[in-house]
Amino acid sequence: MLKTPLITIIAAAGIYILYLYFFPPVRQSGETQDYLQARQFLASRQYLLAYQIANQYSSHFSEANKKTRTPDWLDLAIEALENLPNDASELLSIYRKYPQVVLRHERAAQITGAYFLSLNDIQQYREIRKSWTCNSRKPEFWVVLDADEMVLEGKRLEAVSNLNSHAFEGVADVPRLLRLSLLASEMNPKLAWEYFNLASKKDPDNPELGAYRAKILEAGHSLALEMKH
């Protein structure tokens, strides 16, 4: 009675071994697992963790334009870095090596453009801006950067006019309102506070509110001192 089950077990084992031989299980490589983990971090807004994983594969960044390159670590790294704008140094380092890849990502292009404007490098900003003159998904940031460019060129009134000629829904309008408040602060503190209050109502948790409040107060204090003299 014991022979039949034993034979059955041996036969089944043999079939299983043959199956594994001809159809080996597909195992994910360590790189693929890391890529999926990094993507999960991106989805859960853990951008620094996503970038740290991507940066471990920085040796593959130069292969970003090859269609056969999977996974694409450079694009993933840029997606993570464009959500870490408080430290743009890494993004700028990537831009210097792979500018066309960075420019495929609109927010990354805007952060990079803002950096060059902070250096008064209008020409470099214009080169970046060309990539997104059409099909922009984040026009509210370009409007502010374009105004900054005009200010650098000494066209302050044009900058204000350009900002006033646009309006966006909800929190998307906050960058425009804050820039208007800053531009008005040096000459018209009352108007500056009006713009600021509109912005704070639309997005009371915006982390930039504190910095803008301080700038408006400083500008108002400087104006008051000038009027005394």
> Which residues have C-beta within 8 Å of that of residue 179, sequence separation ≥ 6?
144, 147, 148, 163
Provide mean pLDDT across the span 2-25. 55
What does the DSSP 8-state code read for residue 57?
T
- Looking at residue 15, its pLDDT comes to 62
pLDDT above 90: residue 183: yes
Provide mean pLDDT across the span 92-103. 95
pLDDT above 80: residue 220: no
- Looking at residue 225, its pLDDT comes to 46
- Looking at residue 27, its pLDDT comes to 43
pLDDT above 80: residue 112: yes
Cα dihedral across residues 22, 24, 26, 29: positive or negative: negative
Tokens of 78: 């840029």
In percent, how much of the chain has pLDDT > 90?
71
Nearest to 90 by CA among 123, 132, 120, 61: 61
Question: How many Å apart are CA 15 and CA 182, to the nearest integer?
Answer: 76
> Which residues have C-beta within 8 Å of that of residue 39, sequence separation ≥ 6?
50, 76
pLDDT above 50: residue 171: yes
